[in-house]
Amino acid sequence: MSSDVELSGIVIAGGRSRRFGVDKRRLRLWGESGPHLLGHAVALLQPLCVETIVVLNDAEAWPDVPARIVPDEQPGSGALGGLISGLQAMRTPAALVIAADMPLIVPAALAALARWPFTGDALAPTPPGQPDQPQPLFAVYRHSVLPQLRRAFAAGERRLQAALMALRWVDPGPALWHRYDPAARSLLNLNTPDDLVAAQAWLRQVE
């Protein structure tokens, strides 16, 4: 794929924050006057993408999010269901996809991912030292993967990473991290309150 193809930006954001305990999408890690986590994710994608889509199931609670909000085709079907719904809604040949719970994405790393030339169906970085762990929610997918993802979902697959690994996926390799995000902090996602403590420590360091 050429590096100048138009991208849709998709935030997968219909989770329930069960491990976190409160709706993590509402966290304001940059102070009360800063964005909430979902708004932060949208703002990261906007400069890189010709349209921005958020996949969630309580659209009425997010009237001010400057993105096209689409619901899950099957609410509660997990992040794989959310990805399928987002890819169905997109209007470009490929999408840059992130989750709503990633407070430390380095904009330059995301921009590099968006421009990275690749062959194959998906571009998914692996964490340093973990070449068999492609990250499905810091990734680029071609729209053409939709039928394969739908078949996996219909067959009962709910594990997003497993569905990604069944595609022809490509790793941009360690150069992405070396150049833009040496600790790969872009991949940190807030699953538990402990993850929030770690993220806040990082944010204090970079401020």
Ligand X SMILES: Nc1nc2c(ncn2[C@@H]2O[C@H](COP(=O)(O)OP(=O)(O)OP(=O)(O)O)[C@@H](O)[C@H]2O)c(=O)[nH]1
- Sheet containing strand 138-142, edge to edge, reads 68-70, 51-55, 7-12, 94-99, 138-142, 122-123, 169-170
Answer yes or no: is 53 a known binding residue. no
- How many residues bind ligand X, per CB under 6 A? 24
Residues 175-194 close enough to bind Mg ion by CB under 5 A: 189, 191
Q: What is the CA radius of gyration of the chain?
A: 16
Contact status: 158 vs ligand X (CB under 6 A): no
Contact status: 19 vs ligand X (CB under 6 A): yes
Residues 164-193 close enough to bind ligand X by CB under 6 A: 189, 191
CB of 162 to Mg ion, least distance (A): 16
Phi, psi of 61 (to 5 degrees): -85, 0
Residues 66-105 close enough to bind Mg ion by CB under 5 A: 101
Residue showing the smallest CB distance to Mg ion in the complex: 189
Residue 56 binds which entry of Mg ion, ligand X, none, CB below 5-8 Å type-dependent: ligand X
Answer yes or no: is 58 a known binding residue. no
Residues 100-139 close enough to bind Mg ion by CB under 5 A: 101
CA pair distance 99, 122, nearest whole angstrom? 16
Answer yes or no: is 24 a known binding residue. yes
CA pair distance 135, 143, nearest whole angstrom? 18
Beta bridge partners of 53: 10, 68
Structure tokens at 30: 């940059």
CB of 79 to Mg ion, least distance (A): 8
Binding mask 37-56 for ligand X (x = CB under 6 A): ------------------xx
Residue in 51, 72, 121, 181 binding ligand X, rule: CB under 6 A: 72
Phi, psi of 50 (to 5 degrees): -85, -20
Q: Is 127 exposed, middle or buried, given 0-12, 13-18 or 19+ CB atoms closer than 10 A? A: middle
Residues 125-144 close enough to bind ligand X by CB under 6 A: 137
Answer yes or no: is 154 a known binding residue. no
Structure tokens at 128: 């340093």
> How far is CA 93 from each of CA 7, 88, 126, rounded to the nearest angstrom?
7, 11, 23
Residues at the contact surface with Mg ion, assessed by CB under 5 A:
101, 189, 191
Residue ranges for the known binding site are 12-14, 24, 72, 101
Residue ranges for the known binding site for Mg(2+) are 101
Residues at the contact surface with ligand X, assessed by CB under 6 A:
12-20, 55-56, 72, 76-79, 81-82, 99-101, 137, 189, 191
